[in-house]
Amino acid sequence: MLPTHEELVARLEQAGVLARHWRTAFERVERHRFLPDRISGPDGVTADRSRDPGHWLGLAYADIPIVTQVDDGAENGPGYPTSSASQPTIVADMLRRLDVFPGRRVLEIGTGTGYNAALLSQLLGDAAVTSVEIDADLAETARTRLREAGFGTFVVTGDGTLGCPSRAPFDRVICTAAVQRVPYPWIEQTRSGGRILTPWGNAFHNGVLADLTVGPDATARGRFGGDAAFMWVRAQRVPRRVVEAFVRPEEQAFESTRTELHPYEPIGDFDASFAIGLRMPTVLNRVEFSEDDGQRYTVYLVDPETASWASWRIEPEHRETGHEVRQHGPRELFTELEAAYHWWRERGRPVHARFGLTVSAERQSVWLDDETGLVP
Ligand SMILES: C[S@@+](CC[C@H](N)C(=O)[O-])C[C@H]1O[C@@H](n2cnc3c(N)ncnc32)[C@H](O)[C@@H]1O
């Protein structure tokens, strides 16, 4: 193993995310084999493999996600990330949670670089792994890199939300992109007792992991667990640049009120924000800082479906007199947020892992503690 690779494996072990039965796979599969020749770190500094191999390898084995495609591969776009090699800690943690052992068959959605597919192939054997990637170029590159690394993983170019009926049934489904609605084909294609692990969220909050077990009634149930922000599967993306598109206080009528509520908890607390998102899943929240001191900012709430918006202006000197809130449109989004926040507090501030999900052919429902506690 390269020294940087060894350090990464040690780091995953220290973080408690590397299950014992996954260790050999993480030692044998070399992440750098799945990365492009030019990659960037979180600071945006690009490393070129041929010019600065040391820097490039350092990034390849750092515990960071590496963006490998923007704007679905289109040139001159705004630069939105659309594929990446996920952060190794998350990769190891998801594989640990997947609870999969040799002899089981797995469907992965979102091949991306092929790194996660290689790990699965290393543990389970090529024949047990099917990986689906919607982007034809990425799928082809992943196939090549897998082959060069010695794997014959079955990579399908297609929409993974449809599963892969010709290779079903599976014992496990693992999605490495986020969904708002768990696609029912995954449940149909999973054996009774099998598991589905997927990043899950909504426009308000991205997101958590949903860990579901498929029952004999062809319904999947399970709880949420883990902080996992992923890029969305293509057909379930949330709108972008909503503040620019919808908020125009100079020309739109709005109601102005004041509030003592500070965004610290409803927006800043992971569990509060997750719970509020369950009550208002189509509403996006954006925080825009007006000065570098980090103390003056506006929280925007936007519902693209009804073109409603609210702005919540935070200035330290208004702590006593209340922060200004403006609301426009048929939905009073700040009022809804306050109600959802109080609902969460009245239930004893439940952590996200107390919530769960049931997915049947007809619907997806979210509950608190058990299926009788449906979230309205
Ligand atoms: C975070 S990346 C996956 C990381 C990958 N597992 C790895 O090890 O590099 C998410 C991937 O999901 C793909 N994707 C998005 N929507 C999809 C869909 N409906 N079906 C299959 N793949 C999809 C994207 O093109 C992207 O490559």
CB of 161 closer than 6 angstroms to any ligand 1 atom: yes
pLDDT tens for 113-125 read: 999 999 999 999 9
pLDDT tens for 217-242 read: 999 999 999 889 999 999 999 999 99
Q: What whole-number distance in Å separates Cα of residue 65 and Cα of residue 86? A: 5
By the 10 Å C-beta count (0-12 exposed, 13-18 middle, 19+ buried), 4 is classed as: middle
Regions of the chain with pLDDT less than 70: none
- Element holding 366 (H helix, E strand): strand 364-368
Atom of ligand 1 nearest to the CA of 113: 9
CB of 189 closer than 6 angstroms to any ligand 1 atom: no
Q: What whole-number distance in Å separates Cα of residue 274 and Cα of residue 354? A: 11
What is the model's pLDDT at position 316?
Answer: 85
Candidate from 91, 133, 161 with most ligand 1 atoms within 8 A of CB, to mutate: 133
Atom of ligand 1 nearest to the CA of 91: 8
Domain ranges of the chain: 3-236, 242-346
What is the model's pLDDT at position 132?
Answer: 98
CB of 115 closer than 6 angstroms to any ligand 1 atom: yes
Distance 110 CA to ligand 1 centre (A): 3
Distance 255 CA to ligand 1 centre (A): 42
CB of 84 closer than 6 angstroms to any ligand 1 atom: yes
Pick the CATH number of 3-236 from 1.10.10.10, 3.40.50.150, 3.30.70.1380, 1.20.210.10: 3.40.50.150
What is the model's pLDDT at position 376?
Answer: 87
Q: Residues near 296 by Cβ (< 8 Å), separated by ≥ 6? A: 289, 290, 314, 315, 316
Q: What whole-number distance in Å separates Cα of residue 352 and Cα of residue 368? A: 9
pLDDT tens for 78-104 read: 999 999 999 999 999 999 999 999 999
Candidate from 231, 232, 237 with most ligand 1 atoms within 8 A of CB, to mutate: 231
Same fold, 3-236 and 242-346: no
Q: Write down the number of H helices and E strands in the chain.
A: 10, 18
Distance 107 CA to ligand 1 centre (A): 13
What is the model's pLDDT at position 291?
Answer: 72
What is the model's pLDDT at position 83?
Answer: 97
Q: Which of 83, 86, 121, 273 is flagged as catalytic?
A: 86
Distance 167 CA to ligand 1 centre (A): 19
| Short-list 179, 188, 176, CA closest to 220 | 188
**Is 83 a residue of the active site?**
no
What is the model's pLDDT at position 321?
Answer: 87
288 φ/ψ angles, rounded to the nearest 5 degrees:
-120, 120
Give the C-alpha distances (Å, rounded to integers) separating 309 from 167, 268, 330: 45, 19, 9
CATH number, domain 242-346 = 3.30.310
